[in-house]
Amino acid sequence: DSDEFFPGIPVIPYSPDASPDNVLCFRHYNPTQVVMGRSMADWLRFSACFWHSFRGTGADPFGFPTINRPWDDGTDTIENAKRRLRAGFEFFTKMGLKYWTFHDRDIAPMGDTLEQTNKNLDEMTDLALELQNKTGVKLLWATCNLFAHPMYSNGASTSPDAHVFAMAGAQVKKGLEVAKKLGAEGFVFWGGREGYQTLLNTDVRRELDHMGAFFKMVVAYKKKIGFTGQLLIEPKPKEPTKHQYDYDAQTVISFLKTYGLDTDFKLNIEPNHTTLAGHGHEHDVVVASKFGMLGSIDSNTGSPDLGWDTDQFPMEIKNTTLIMKAIIEQGGLAPGGLNFDCKVRRESIDLQDLFIAHIGAMDSFARGLMCAVELFNQGVMEKCVKDRYSSYDSGIGSSIENGKASLEQLEEYIKANGFPTPTSGQQEMYEVLFNNALKY
Amino acid sequence: DSDEFFPGIPVIPYSPDASPDNVLCFRHYNPTQVVMGRSMADWLRFSACFWHSFRGTGADPFGFPTINRPWDDGTDTIENAKRRLRAGFEFFTKMGLKYWTFHDRDIAPMGDTLEQTNKNLDEMTDLALELQNKTGVKLLWATCNLFAHPMYSNGASTSPDAHVFAMAGAQVKKGLEVAKKLGAEGFVFWGGREGYQTLLNTDVRRELDHMGAFFKMVVAYKKKIGFTGQLLIEPKPKEPTKHQYDYDAQTVISFLKTYGLDTDFKLNIEPNHTTLAGHGHEHDVVVASKFGMLGSIDSNTGSPDLGWDTDQFPMEIKNTTLIMKAIIEQGGLAPGGLNFDCKVRRESIDLQDLFIAHIGAMDSFARGLMCAVELFNQGVMEKCVKDRYSSYDSGIGSSIENGKASLEQLEEYIKANGFPTPTSGQQEMYEVLFNNALKY
Amino acid sequence: DSDEFFPGIPVIPYSPDASPDNVLCFRHYNPTQVVMGRSMADWLRFSACFWHSFRGTGADPFGFPTINRPWDDGTDTIENAKRRLRAGFEFFTKMGLKYWTFHDRDIAPMGDTLEQTNKNLDEMTDLALELQNKTGVKLLWATCNLFAHPMYSNGASTSPDAHVFAMAGAQVKKGLEVAKKLGAEGFVFWGGREGYQTLLNTDVRRELDHMGAFFKMVVAYKKKIGFTGQLLIEPKPKEPTKHQYDYDAQTVISFLKTYGLDTDFKLNIEPNHTTLAGHGHEHDVVVASKFGMLGSIDSNTGSPDLGWDTDQFPMEIKNTTLIMKAIIEQGGLAPGGLNFDCKVRRESIDLQDLFIAHIGAMDSFARGLMCAVELFNQGVMEKCVKDRYSSYDSGIGSSIENGKASLEQLEEYIKANGFPTPTSGQQEMYEVLFNNALKY
Amino acid sequence: DSDEFFPGIPVIPYSPDASPDNVLCFRHYNPTQVVMGRSMADWLRFSACFWHSFRGTGADPFGFPTINRPWDDGTDTIENAKRRLRAGFEFFTKMGLKYWTFHDRDIAPMGDTLEQTNKNLDEMTDLALELQNKTGVKLLWATCNLFAHPMYSNGASTSPDAHVFAMAGAQVKKGLEVAKKLGAEGFVFWGGREGYQTLLNTDVRRELDHMGAFFKMVVAYKKKIGFTGQLLIEPKPKEPTKHQYDYDAQTVISFLKTYGLDTDFKLNIEPNHTTLAGHGHEHDVVVASKFGMLGSIDSNTGSPDLGWDTDQFPMEIKNTTLIMKAIIEQGGLAPGGLNFDCKVRRESIDLQDLFIAHIGAMDSFARGLMCAVELFNQGVMEKCVKDRYSSYDSGIGSSIENGKASLEQLEEYIKANGFPTPTSGQQEMYEVLFNNALKY
């Protein structure tokens, strides 16, 4: 096929017994394999990220672009944009990815006016819709890029300039329309510049009030046009700003509750952001999930010794197991998914690297799923945790949980029963139980 | 006076022109000096911390106690406790500190039963009340130590054991009674063990539900006994636990709103905790203040290159200026104060070090106050910030702020006015304006 | 046996097919199993740490001791010390540990004079020798505690007080004698207080000169008494001090070369210290190894989101694989070993926790060994790395390596051959190859 | 003047009494003012950085360029390069900066061949020489950019490809020639890509051996052409690589000693790199200085809460005082200087911001100089430090320092004198003494 963008690379097969030097096959991810009542594909709902994999250049703060794709002539034309999009869908298809995600500005060039810009987006989303229909690949979520253009350098909805706020609103209006057109299952807001570089020039309260006002308009417009996808906010603590208002899961929940938005939004959690906020890899996934706020996951990883967002492909079985454990506990992630918000290293310049990276990540998550399932099947850890809290299932514990206890009653209880005796937390035993389930 | 604990050390004088080798005088803190309509003492509301300064031993994870005070025989008797308390009040008085703070367990030995324990506390608070009345030193806030005893090793209100929860409740009941007795202006909760060491053994949701239930009982009992002090939660991200539920200001606000407690509590912010959570020194003070949640401050500092709570005396004029700027902007900190939750280094074993440390901190805050006042008097930075947001004072900006704008209107605005033009954030100019006010 | 300290706990068996709820057996560590020509026991050379496991109390900066052992009456008597030591050797034996390590002050109480202190140490090391002979457990290395006593609060060999320096020398003299007596295979220096808390009071150069002088005396005395064990320095970046002079592997190498000590010392690397210095877990192990300086390993781990030394038991297969890969590449670790410088969490208060923790760590290292062996057996990664550098095997690359090339020749080479073409670094492929070897 | 690049901005005057809203004047930096026997200009030796201030675009990993200069048409032509250079020298002159620094690739476009590239560099350095002569601005140091071009993505002298190594050599050969031509007082190597992204694909030892070989060729060629400037290595721990071989001062010293290069190189210390390596701001400056290795300083700062290199202008008086204290203690910094390796924030897009930023930094260093001088004039801290170590001035301390003591003698000393008594480290007193000198 002369229109093939990845000649010589076939649809990636599932070959669990391939020889060690074969890195272009899945060893663990078998989409149709059923575990705990669902197919692997259903549990994992993998999604490719258009911006990293088809717009990434390998440039970094100290280096020029390194990645040149044969189909990309470097121009900002519609023709080039279309080639990129076709290449993307060939990639999604060959990888067996059922979902994709994009920013508005990734897929269509900006024009000199809003009208021209939106027209470009219309033309490109026509093609996207065609390719979606042809391939069966669906849109996990769409998002607007409100951080890369210089106009947003001081923020979008938190810009000190109302003109910039208006621009962000106009852009998101179109973004919601496009999301609806393409059947997106969600719509994400990542507030890359919504924060401050220095408190000295910043009116924090006024900026957050503006951000609250912005999201209220979003909710209103979403309802007006009948877009039914889930609205999502993606927390990140810092970078590019010194402080990003959506610091972590709990900070965003605080914001949503402060402005009365907590029933309209859920969270899109990215573990590399979680670790930058000083938490363990799975922390925000777990916390968001337990409070009913986990909407989707940007499944990547970082290096814990680095203080910036490296957006690496998730390759650690321990981490993928912990994520999948949380997903199983909440009964699945739909309509969210595991979106690979990851980029190949800037030194990984070959086309093949793009495939290998996704294969490694998908196999790592398939292994994580199988390990988490093993953990549930063994059942030991689950039972231990349940036993650990069993004093709340009756007596004074039950009174505490159902809101009937008072400080006076607690005092009486201690007078009657004396001081409590410490019990072991058994962390090492839990770690051993966990390791013993890592069999895949 | 044979009962003097610090013989040879007088009441610390204000001596702005003392010779360079005189470190036992204030050079900047002049309590009666009036700035912006109030005395320095009113603006600063300094408070001494009983635990660090009168119970600290200098022990650390790798070393034995280093600090031996002549009045402390190392026993856990009431007599020894009384000597410590008398020494404390002599210190407060000689330092010119108007407030103090303590944990229940700092001032009175624990007994074998709750009854005996509370009896000890009664005896010691009788003395405390006598000393307060005699010296005029007041209680900024009281708190319960729910983290040091082994029974609390797996948490207090978030313990998996309801018996421990009950114990915490009984202890706080007494704590509130004591706070009322001593006229405390506040009551602080620092959840040192309210968190997790590993997610593997932890039911996060159940633990947080318990913590919510606990605070509801606290609010009810506070009202019942007519204690009118402000309830405060002190955020800290980690240490001793891997993750503390009260991570930072916004996390606590999220918790309070989730459990309907946000009108009953404010925050006690400690900058050394703020920096451990990955924020700038003054971040949580500013954020809490702007949302009406700043109740009090544990005025200390840490070393930004260290990953644990060093509780150092605040000695950086830049930082104290930023804190005082926030306090001035909210019109003062009362009924909260600047509590020195700081400890002398374990190598600083002389009695004199305790005085010098507090002098250095109080002078640093006095300088910070004067610099912040200078900043306001110059007025340039304030005007620049106001101008920066002026586009929200009328037109589309005003519509945004008053909730009348919609995405459609914003789109129309951009169609009519075109894309916005970037403007400079001028961070360096703000830094220069700030530096130019650092004159003291 | 009425003298049994761990009644009901047998010698831990190797039971690879035990049921999931059995946590008192090895599933992977089979000491006599031969891999790559050696027994697992030979490759792994596990060692128990006396201080953490038999002197640890669970106290932390915010909490009192939590761990009470039935044999330990809390006194500082010789009798108590002997019970602890006997309990230790029962533990080593039941765990199948072939080595142990201790500080002088762990095993024998300090007296009022040097003479009495050393006499206590003589009495205790007589017992240690007896127990070593009886059980076959050997001493991996000894060390002196030069950081816990208040006299060392400002440093030992870097103390500003020459009297303290002398004390450290006297203590180490005895330590070396004891190490010889017990047949230690090494002697470790961890400079817990050799550093500074503030540069303001510190003469860095004079302190480092003193430390250099100290180690020269150590080398001289070691030779004089004919102690043939390896001298080792253990790097740590900070904690308890703000800056520890032995920051990391390369810093210690810099120090050793500056003072002409680099042929007399090797390094004892602790990964939890490596990560605190900002490196990846295995970094210092690899760097030290490649420069011939890796002497032994304190095989523990930390939590990457915590900024202090948690000394956790190593439970991550990825990390143990990377460590074992480095050890295999240098042909083994003898006369060093894998010393478990780890402590059970302070909440893990049961005797059983001590066993489970060591079992988990030993199984994790056995799995790491098997994975590293699998990686070598597959051979793909090794070949890829070799190929990656093959341009240095001939031509201009060979001239560079043998020191014959000059800048002029390099310029000529570029004039003749043009600019080089970038090649892929293939990080993701290496990660996949690595993951594919994680089969155990 | 129609050729003026900064019309309306005059030579920045020294106006200590300017009104608060005047930010285009020096309030503290008065170049001819004499302190401690030298002019401020002599003590401070400020240098401008061509790359940040004249090639910086404001692009960051999440955003497009924000900074457009009127003279820069965005092309890679010689004409554009010349305009940039002329603008630079106008800026240096108006700022009163006596030195500048550049990378080869900053000032001249790369050609298709080495010959063309070097020809471009010749043409541009002819102009640079002319401008230097005309303005009196001198070249503090030159450097080669061996990290931005894709060919260097896997390293330069540590590239796995010998062809790349050769390219780096050819480039540095020309760089040294250019440095000589322009009378550079130094030549800096910053190994931005000399490190690894993953240990899995890296032969650390072979790479470091190559780096050692590279620097030997540099030393040889430097001598051959008679370039007398100081060779300098600039440490940085990470970013862009996961681990940079030149991690910090001591790591570089370790490398230099390992390869026998320690008499040929000194260090160029950048505090923002020092803090990223986990040290205090001034640590590497002090350590390098005390071991005779401090050659020059890249005087910038970072935000301690951020994990990447922000290259901010140094605006903290405390930090500049500590740096100047170290410089005074080593008797000045010549032939090195204080190079402003700093960039205006990407939001600071106005030409005026560039001036204000440098003014703020220069004033901050002038204040730091005056505070450090005050500290020396007061003399109290210096005396306290000297007294602290006085036990090494005679007796056993003196024997230790002159290498005559042995462990046996130390033991005898303790037997005769007993255990040492702890003394206070007095950190807080030192902090107070320091603060009391901050008068400017």
Over residues C308-347, the pLDDT tens digits come to 999 999 999 999 999 999 999 999 999 999 999 999 999 9
CA neighbor of B402 nearest in space, from A155, A209, A218? A209
- Using one digit for the tens of pLDDT, what is the confidence trace for B290-317? 999 999 999 999 999 999 999 999 999 9
Across-strand partners of D375? none
- Which one, of B231, B92, B93, B121, lies nearest residue B182 by Cα? B121
Provide the residue type at A211 as one letter.
M
> Which chain A residues are Cβ-neighbours of D152 within 8 angstroms?
63
Is A406 found in the same domain as A308? no
C144 and C185 inside one domain: yes
- How many Å apart are CA D272 and CA D308, to the nearest integer? 9
Number of C-beta neighbours around residue B42 at 10 A: 16
Whole-number Å distance between alpha carbons of C198 and D304: 17
pLDDT, tens digit, 9 for 90 and up, residues D131-189: 999 999 999 999 999 999 999 999 999 999 999 999 999 999 999 999 999 999 999 99
| C-alpha distance from residue A207 to each of A161, A267, B382 (Å) | 10, 21, 16
Rounded Cα distance, D360 and D23, in Å: 9
Residue B289, domain member (yes or no): yes
Residue A12 lies in a domain: no
Say which residues have a Cβ less than 8 Å from residue C386's Cβ, sequence separation at least 6. Answer: none
Task: For chain A, list the contacting chains (3+ Cβ pairs, <8 Å).
Answer: B, C, D
Whether residue D200 and residue C381 make contact (CB cut-off 8 A), yes or no, is: yes
Count contacts between B and D (CB, < 8 Å): 135
The whole-chain average pLDDT of chain C stands at 97
Q: C347 in a domain, yes or no?
A: yes
Which tokens sit at D161? 């490809």
Strands C38-39 and C34-35, by their bridges, are antiparallel
Contact A210, A158 (CB under 8 A): yes
Residues B312 and B366 in one domain: yes
Per the CB < 8 Å rule, is D316 touching B315?
no
Q: How far, in Å, CA of B15 to CA of B19, rounded? A: 9
Catalytic residue among D28, D103, D273, D279: D103
Residue D146 domain-assigned (yes or no): yes
Find the helix packing angle between A351-378 and A317-329, rounded to 10°: 60
Same domain, D162 and D204: yes
Provide mean pLDDT across the span A267-288: 98
Contact at 8 Å (CB) between B287 and B404? no
- Provide the pLDDT confidence category of residue A2 given band limits of 50, 70 and 90: low
CA gap B205, B39 in Å, rounded: 47
CB atoms within 10 A of CB A417: 13
Domain that holds residue C401: 381-437
pLDDT at position D440 is 65
Question: CA-CA distance, A398 to B163, in Å (whole number)?
Answer: 11
Residues A238-243 have a mean pLDDT of 98
The tokens describing D214, both together, are: 């590279």
pLDDT for residue D300 is more than 70: yes
Q: Is the pLDDT of residue C1 over 80?
A: no
pLDDT score, position C180:
98
List Cβ neighbours of A54 (8 Å cut-off, separation of 6 or more): A69, A84, A85, A87, A88, A91, A106
Does residue D353 sit in the same domain as residue D287? yes
- What are the structure tokens assigned to B411, written together? 């789109």
Rounded Cα–Cα distance for residues B102 and B138 (Å):
12
Tell me which amino acid residue B60 is. D
| Cis peptide bond N-terminal to B240, omega within 30 | yes
Total domains in the fold of chain B: 2
Question: How far is residue D11's CA from residue D25's CA, in Å, rounded to a whole number?
Answer: 9
Q: How far is B313 from chain C (nearest CA, A)?
A: 13
Which residues sit opposite A187 in a β-bridge?
A142, A231
| D307-363 residue pLDDT tens | 999 999 999 999 999 999 999 999 999 999 999 999 999 999 999 999 999 999 999
For helices D351-378 and D427-437, give the axis angle rounded to 10 degrees: 120
The residue in chain D having the minimum alpha-carbon distance to the alpha carbon of residue C258 is: D257
Give how far Cα B297 sits from Cα of A259, B332, C135, D343, Å: 26, 12, 58, 35
D23 falls within a domain: no
D428/B313 touch (CB, cutoff 8 Å), yes or no: yes
Distance from CA of D50 to the nearest CA of B (A): 19
Structure tokens at B186: 């506040």
| pLDDT of amino acid D437 | 97
Task: Examine the pLDDT at D1 and tell me if it is beyond 60.
Answer: no
| Cβ contact, residue pair B162, A395, below 8 Å | yes
Please state, for a pLDDT cut of 70, what percent of chain B lies above it: 100
Whether residue B134 has pLDDT greater than 90: yes
Mean pLDDT (whole number) for C270-296? 98
Tell me what percent of the residues of chain A surpass a pLDDT of 90: 99
Q: Which of A378, A404, A427 is the last residue of a domain?
A: A378
D211/D195 Cα distance (integer angstroms): 10
Which pair of structure tokens corresponds to residue C21?
A: 């709820």
Q: Using CA atoms, how far apart are residues C281 and C302, in angstroms rounded to an integer?
A: 9
Minimal C-alpha gap between D193 and chain A (Å): 9
Is residue C95, in this structure, part of any structural domain at all? yes
Instruction: Output the domain CATH number for residue A195.
Output: 3.20.20.150
* Residues C243 and D283: beta-carbon distance below 8 Å: yes
Same domain, C356 and C399: no
How many angstroms separate the CA atoms of D206 and D211, rounded?
Answer: 9
- Residue B2 is predicted with a pLDDT of 58
Tens of pLDDT, residue by residue over C137-176, are 999 999 999 999 999 999 999 999 999 999 999 999 999 9
Q: Which one of D378, D393, D425 terminates a domain? A: D378
Reported as a pLDDT band with limits 50, 70 and 90, residue A3 is confident
**Of the partner residues A422, A423, A432, the one whose CB lies closest to the CB of residue C360:** A432
Three-state DSSP at D434 gives helix
**Same structural domain for residues C257 and C182?**
yes
Residue B1, pLDDT > 70, answer no
In this structure, are C211 and C334 located in the same domain? yes
How close, in Å, is residue D183 to chain A by CA atoms? 27
Q: What is the DSSP letter of A51?
A: I
Query: What's residue C2's pLDDT?
Result: 58
Residue C157 lies in a domain: yes
The helix or strand, by DSSP H or E, that contains position A354, with its residue range, turns out to be helix A351-378
Same domain flag for A386 and A302: no
- Distance (Å, whole) CA A190 – CA A104: 13
Cα A183 from Cα B293, distance rounded (Å): 42
For the cut 90, the answer to whether the pLDDT of residue D14 exceeds it is: yes
| Domain annotation covers residue A311 | yes
User: In this complex, do A360 and C21 lie within 8 Å of one another by their Cβ atoms?
Assistant: no
Provide the token pair at D154.
Answer: 């896997």
Q: What is the mean pLDDT of residues C47-67?
A: 98
The stretch C217-223 carries a mean pLDDT of 98
The string of pLDDT tens digits covering residues A338-367 is: 999 999 999 999 999 999 999 999 999 999
Counting beta carbons within 10 angstroms of the beta carbon of residue D348, is it exposed (0 to 12), middle (13 to 18) or buried (19 or more)?
buried
Do C387 and C312 belong together in one domain?
no
Q: How many residues does chain A have?
A: 440
What is the average pLDDT across B50-58?
A: 98
Which regions of D347-432 does DSSP assign to beta strands (E)? none
Count Cβ–Cβ pairs < 8 Å, chain A vs chain C: 134
Q: Residue for token digits 């814990």?
A: A304
Looking at the structure, tell me whether residues C390 and C298 fall in a common domain.
no
Tell me if residue C230 falls in helix, strand or coil: strand
| DSSP assigned state of C99 | E
Q: In this structure, are A129 and A254 located in the same domain?
A: yes
Q: Do C153 and B197 touch (CB under 8 A)?
A: no
- The per-residue pLDDT for C440 is 73
Kindly state the DSSP code that residue A311 receives in the 8-state scheme. -
Contacts of C15 (CB under 8 A, 6+ apart): C22, C25, C26, C27
Structural domain ending residue among the three candidates A332, A355, A378 = A378
DSSP assigned state of D53: I
Pairing of strands D99-103, D46-49: parallel
